[in-house]
Amino acid sequence: MISLIREKIKSLSSSEEISLFLKHKRGMAGLILLSFMLFIALTADFIAPKRFDEVDPSSRLLPPSTANIFGTDQLGRDVFSRVVFGARIALWVGLLVVVIEAGIGVPLGLVAGYYGGSIDKLISAITDMLWAFPPIILALAIVTILGPGLTNVVIAVSVVSWAPYTRVVRAKTQSIMSREFIIAARAVGESSLSIMFRYVLPNTLSSVIVLATLTIPSAILYTTALSFLGFGAQPPTPDWGAMLNEGKDYIFKAPWCSVFPGLFITLTALSFNLLGDALRDVLDPKLRLG
């Protein structure tokens, strides 16, 4: 799998797609914004003036100042430090959800598109049903069963939103199946598994990359929403959604506790949306998510 991605990246860099992407202003803006988020996530230990769970009862709910540029929360914790550490959680969660989603959705799409017939009908029916159902409700139901916690939220969100991967990969697989190189591979007796993973999968990869970039924002939005409701990350985890959950009780006294985490959720989601739109324009302009 990793060698496939490496091959794909190699083929990309040699093509004109890179130069097309470099000309895509919004895509570049997204990339810069994302690099910024990655940078603060990776260097959180150095950037943050304090630890995210460092309580200081003497300086509670202080407005932004030179000492605490984003102010402090109800326990006297530095909001800026918490937001910076939160970037780590958000990006990690987004990545994790997307990997699980792709892990479920891509193989199902491959199988449905490759075999067709009743397997395809069954998989498509499940996908359609899942697609129609409101993901937050389903995720809530799962969290109710599993109990609160960030890991459970990640599981719940991934389990309810892999449907787009199956749909896209299935459609791609169907169109690839009629191509000569697949017919040739079959003719020389390649096994189904080998055809699916060595011939079909690489050709769906650019769509999957676009899709993954575009589903990270919704993964982050869903997990923070669940954390906001109190089902996700538990205190003192500096999850942005959990911070908003705690901050909303002090929204009028200390709006900065709520403003900054939300702003960072928006910026992170925005960076992926901009990047994803650009990747779609460049790699797979016909890709439809709706």
Q: Per rule CB under 8 A, is residue 270 in the interface with other proteins? A: yes
Ranges within 200-219 binding other proteins (CB under 8 A):
217
| Candidate list 228, 238, 246, 280; residue touching other proteins; CB under 8 A | 228
Q: Which is nearer to other proteins, 7 or 249 (CB)?
A: 249
Q: Which is nearer to other proteins, 48 or 140 (CB)?
A: 140
Q: Per rule CB under 8 A, is residue 26 in the interface with other proteins? A: yes
| Candidate list 89, 100, 140, 212; residue touching other proteins; CB under 8 A | 140
* CB 31, min distance to other proteins, A: 14
**Whole-angstrom Cα Rg for the chain:** 22
Q: Return d(Cα 128, Cα 148) in angstroms, integer.
A: 28
Residue 48: strand, helix, or coil: coil
Angle between helices 25-42 and 256-283 (to 10 degrees): 130
Q: Per rule CB under 8 A, is residue 75 in the interface with other proteins? A: no
Closest CA to 228 of 158, 140, 112, 164: 140
* CB 151, min distance to other proteins, A: 18
Q: Which is nearer to other proteins, 177 or 270 (CB)?
A: 270
Asked if 143 and 153 touch (Cβ cutoff 8 Å), the reply is yes
- Classify residue 251 by its DSSP letter: T
| Candidate list 100, 221, 279, 287; residue touching other proteins; CB under 8 A | 221
- Classify residue 50 by its DSSP letter: S
Q: Per rule CB under 8 A, is residue 224 in the interface with other proteins? A: yes
Q: Return d(Cα 189, Cα 171) in angstroms, integer.
A: 24
Q: Which is nearer to other proteins, 173 or 258 (CB)?
A: 258
Q: Per rule CB under 8 A, is residue 122 in the interface with other proteins? A: no
Contacts by 242-249, CB closer than 8 A, 24 or more apart: 243/73, 243/79, 243/82, 243/83, 243/86, 246/73, 246/74, 247/73, 249/74
Q: Per rule CB under 8 A, is residue 43 in the interface with other proteins? A: no
* Site mask for other proteins (CB under 8 A), range 53-72, x = bound: --------------------
Q: Which is nearer to other proteins, 106 or 279 (CB)?
A: 279
Q: Per rule CB under 8 A, is residue 137 in the interface with other proteins? A: yes
Asked if 74 and 132 touch (Cβ cutoff 8 Å), the reply is no
What's the token pair of residue 260?
Answer: 């900054």
Q: Which is nearer to other proteins, 127 or 173 (CB)?
A: 127
Contacts with other proteins by CB under 8 A: the residue count is 39
Q: How far is CA 86 from CA 240, 257, 266, 272, 275, in A?
A: 6, 13, 13, 17, 21
Residues engaged in binding other proteins (CB under 8 A): 20, 26, 129, 132-137, 140-141, 144-145, 217, 221, 224-225, 228-231, 244, 248, 251-252, 255, 258-259, 261-262, 265-267, 269-270, 273-274, 277, 290
